[in-house]
Amino acid sequence: MTDQPKFEPIRGTHGADDPGPRNLPLDLQNPDILLPPETDNGSLPNLKFSFAMAHNRLEDGGWAREVTVRELPVAKSMAGVNMRLGPGVVRELHWHKEAEWAYILQGTARLTVVDPDGNLSIDDLKSGDVWLVPAGIPHSIQGMEEGTEFLLVFDDGNFSENETLLITEYMAHTPPSVLARNFGVTSDHFAGIPKSEKYIFRLPVPKPLEAVRAELPDSPIPQPYVFHASGIEAVRYSGGTVKTIDARDFPVTTLSALIIEIEPGGMREMHWHPDADEWQYYIEGEARMTVFDATSKARTFNYRAGDVGFVPRTLGHYIENVGTTPVRVINVFNSRLCSDISLNRWMALTPPDLIRGHLGLDDTVMNALRRSREAVVR
């Protein structure tokens, strides 16, 4: 076996070697934690957790794992679930106390939703599409021919996928006499209902979408809960692309998102969000992020595929591609609209004498300031 490269927490005369015991592969994946930049200072909470470290709940034909405040205590406003459903496999009929935002990572899923007015939405969604199901609205998810994997984000960090309201449990914990009166039949018709949850279970791949729709009332939900974001173009910048998904194009949503691709050598510019926390899911690549808070606090983290990051509202940060392949990351915000303050543009739109007086910058820097938006720079 080839020896792994040595990596020691030493910077000049500061630090010392780490003879062990140590988990060298983990150190190599998190170099800016073991050997922080000199600019890191003070104490900030942990802003990273990997789905690879989350308990994986294996079910009949699928699985689910979650990152909540239990795993990432700073993320009080949002929690996330990564779920896989095989062909035909169903996430059973259910509803939540929280709003559910979703992004299809792989494959195709069928989402079925019924609103309070009896309107119906049945849609097939593919990689890059999203949905938003408000709190209390019943729905189900089913994998199509190739199955599906998706990301769910909920607007409460205390959310747990294991504590949703399920149709099987609701029926199982209602007296049969009440079920009989509710549905207008005798109680013996409910002798075969499940005694516990199904949660994730196998069914055949459903019939084509139009055939299923034809069997049900043609009463679409007035404000669709789905948005085929796979069909909209991302905005290109010098260092990559950004696709915005918010209430301007998806009116029903209460959570918004940026789908960002950062090319090698590129960086999501230094910025902050004035009105929302940022919950991040890294799809691919190797990234680095420093988060800045008041009283000289700063901490740097490294991220790769499957990792979750979090940035509290108003804290300055960037996302830098430190690898040789593109970084793809989903940034979800607990606000209807995506907005940020660019450090560069703020400085460019401030009287130059004020900027020089604060920072002592030379003409080269002053002339490089941009008044236009450049979300991903090179």
Residue positions annotated with a catalytic role = 91, 94, 96, 100, 139, 161
| Cα–Cα separations (whole angstroms), residue 308 to 16, 76, 158, 185, 275 | 30, 14, 16, 49, 20
Tell me whether residue 182 is exposed, middle or buried, using C-beta atoms within 10 angstroms of its C-beta: 0 to 12, 13 to 18, 19 or more: exposed
Rg (the chain; Cα; Å):
24
What is the CA 325 to chain-centroid distance, rounded? 21
| Residue 181, helix vs strand vs coil | helix
CA-CA distance, 152 to 163, in Å (whole number)?
15
Q: What number of CA atoms fall less than 13 Å from residue 127's CA on the CB side?
A: 7
Residue with tokens 């509290």: 312
CA-CA distance, 291 to 25, in Å (whole number)?
24
Residue with tokens 């009105």: 275
Roughly how many angstroms between the first and final C-alpha of the chain, as a whole number? 38
170, 133 in Cβ contact below 8 A?
no
340-352 b/e (C-beta count within 10 Å ≥ 16 → b): bebebbebbeeee
CA-CA distance, 253 to 333, in Å (whole number)?
11
Q: What backbone torsions phi and psi does residue 337 show, to the nearest 5 degrees?
A: -120, 140
